[in-house]
Amino acid sequence: MLWRGSRSASAERLDSTTQQWTPQLLGRFAHLVAGALSGLLYGLSLPKADLGGLAWISLFPVLIFAVREQRPSSGAATRALASGLVFGIIACTFRVYWIVETLGLYGGLNQSAAVATTALLILYLALYPMLFVGSLHLTRPGYGFAWLAAAAWALLDWVQTWMLSGFPWAVLGTTQYQQPQILHFAALAGVHGLSFLIVAVNAGLAQLLFAQRGKQRLAGAIAVLLPATLILSWSAFHQRALEAERTGDPIRIGIVQGNIHQDVKWNPQRAQSTTRKYVDLTRGLAHSSGPLDLILWPETALPFHFDDDSHAIYRDAVRELAMEIDTPLLVGSLGTSSVEGHPGLFNRSFLIGRDGGLQAYGDKVHLVPFGEYLPLPWLFNYMQELTAQSGRFDPGKQHAVIPLRDRGPNMGLFICYESIFPSITRELARRGAGFLVNTTNDAWFGVTAAPYQHFAMVVLRAVETGR
């Protein structure tokens, strides 16, 4: 009995101590919990999870902390930066975790190097959310808090499009790619405009619920309601405008996907079987679908130098196919051209006309760092093996705008990774592209969320340009 009594007393003292310290521990780590929760919500809003609605509350936890920390206090700046860093690490892990598999399984790097390289990229990308939350600490409670937060986020999104050659992969606005009524706004303000509104709503909710003054809460309510009103109004207007603009004959385009496994694709002994598979699939499509204006093959569908005479037998088979089915073919392959007196290698798509002749071609201009070229080789020398595996390409001079037929619209061509850059498709539209074509090979991504994220970004490029 005495033993039981002493155990009970000890338990009571432990409970008392726990109750005393728990609030302090929660208070000490609340900013980190808020950052982690925001990172998780952001990640789940991305493709492939596709819980896009979570984006509208994804920043709410970290912004609650920002609203409450806007008053000067000891250590507030450090807590703000730590919260933003945790948020960024988790969110950016969802964005680019798949790079480990791409570098390791398909790029030839050992697992440790692949993980280390991906971790460095995550840490770099996490700096942007960290700066975002840290910048909010510099403000003071005010009526414009939500709009300042939205502007800061949009600015940092834009910086990602060009800093260190740019990597705006799966930015916040991309989460809305399955929401047609919301997507219309991207035609007005682009993906960064969508991000702006999403952050404004998140910050407005935080201000509405946690600001100390009534007028600040009113400002938060306005920041929540105004984006919704703007999106619905613009969506209705833009939908009517699109319907009124529909003129001319439709373009009928066929797509052929050979589904050649990445492990065997670049085996020279597979060139013949790969070419035959694409020829057979294309012939079957042409015979079953009726007249087509264009048939598309993926990026590097033919894994050899298409314009090299050593592969003339395969090139001739493709040209004969175009004449047989009386349909132009856009064929992804490798191309060579002279670069400053030296042979250059290009990621290229060739347009083969109905007569079997080479009508035009387009090169990839914005290459994939570490995959198609090695930046800062003095720093990343250990990745030489990766670029040797995937190719050391030269950038094209200009994105191609190609006439499809005598009186039809021009085709704007951009290849794979270039789809993450809004400026490229806007440039193509300005130069007269009536429709856009993105050829890609997402087999490098394996069975991950990356192909879904990539597709979402192409959807945004189409909406932004109206193409």
- Cα dist. 169→157, 344, 428, 458 in Å? 10, 28, 20, 11
For the question of residue 364 being annotated catalytic, the response is yes
Position 1 scores a pLDDT of: 40
Q: What is the mean pLDDT of residues 59-81?
A: 80
Position 302 scores a pLDDT of: 95
Cβ within 8 Å of residue 414, ≥6 positions away: 399, 424, 425, 428, 436, 437, 438
For the question of residue 299 being annotated catalytic, the response is yes
The pLDDT tens digits for 392-440 are 899 999 999 999 876 678 999 999 999 999 999 999 999 999 999 999 9
**With 0-12 CB in 10 A as exposed, 13-18 as middle and 19+ as buried, what is 380?**
middle
User: Of residues 101, 265, 372, 416, which has the active-site annotation?
Assistant: 416
Position 22 scores a pLDDT of: 39
Q: What is the mean pLDDT of residues 72-81?
A: 79
Residues in the chain: 467
The pLDDT tens digits for 134-153 are 998 877 667 899 999 999 99
Closest to 359 measured CA to CA, from 405, 326, 312, 313: 405
Name the residue with higher pLDDT: 164 or 91: 91
pLDDT at 297 over 80: yes
Domain 253-465 architecture: 4-Layer Sandwich (3.60)
Residue 25, φ and ψ in degrees, nearest 5: -65, -45
Confidence of residue 18 (pLDDT cuts 50, 70, 90): very low
Neighbours of 75 (CB within 10 A): 11
Position 383 scores a pLDDT of: 61
Residue 297, φ and ψ in degrees, nearest 5: -110, 155
8 A C-beta contact, residue 389 and residue 383? no
Name the residue with higher pLDDT: 50 or 386: 50
Question: For the chain, give me the number of helices (H) and strands (E)?
Answer: 15, 8
Strands (E) located in 265-409: 294-296, 329-339, 342-352, 358-363, 401-403
pTM of the model: 0.89
Position 377 scores a pLDDT of: 65
For the question of residue 92 being annotated catalytic, the response is no
8 A C-beta contact, residue 425 and residue 414? yes
**Per-residue DSSP letters for 156-176?**
HHHHHTTGGG---TT-GGGGG
Query: What's the gap between Cα 257 and its chain centre?
Result: 22
Instruction: In whole angstroms, give the CA distance from residue 393 to residue 341.
Output: 16
Name the region of 151 (left: φ>0; alpha: ψ -120 to 50; beta: rest): alpha
- Cα dist. 103→98, 99, 108, 246 in Å? 9, 6, 6, 44
Instruction: In whole angstroms, give the CA distance from residue 40 to residue 54.
Output: 10
CA 98, 100, 104, 108 dihedral sign is positive
Query: What residues pair up with 333 in beta bridges, in sequence order?
Result: 348
User: Of residues 265, 364, 427, 464, which has the active-site annotation?
Assistant: 364
Q: How many CA atoms lie within 13 A of 363 on its CB side?
A: 17
User: Of residues 101, 299, 418, 427, which has the active-site annotation?
Assistant: 299
pLDDT at 121 over 60: yes
Residue 265, φ and ψ in degrees, nearest 5: -55, -45
Share of the chain above pLDDT 90, in %: 65
Q: Which residue has the tokens 């395969």?
A: 314
The SS3 assignment for 466 reads coil
Cβ within 8 Å of residue 28, ≥6 positions away: none
Joined together, the tokens standing for residue 241 give 């405008």
Closest to 129 measured CA to CA, from 77, 84, 69: 84
pLDDT at 291 over 50: yes
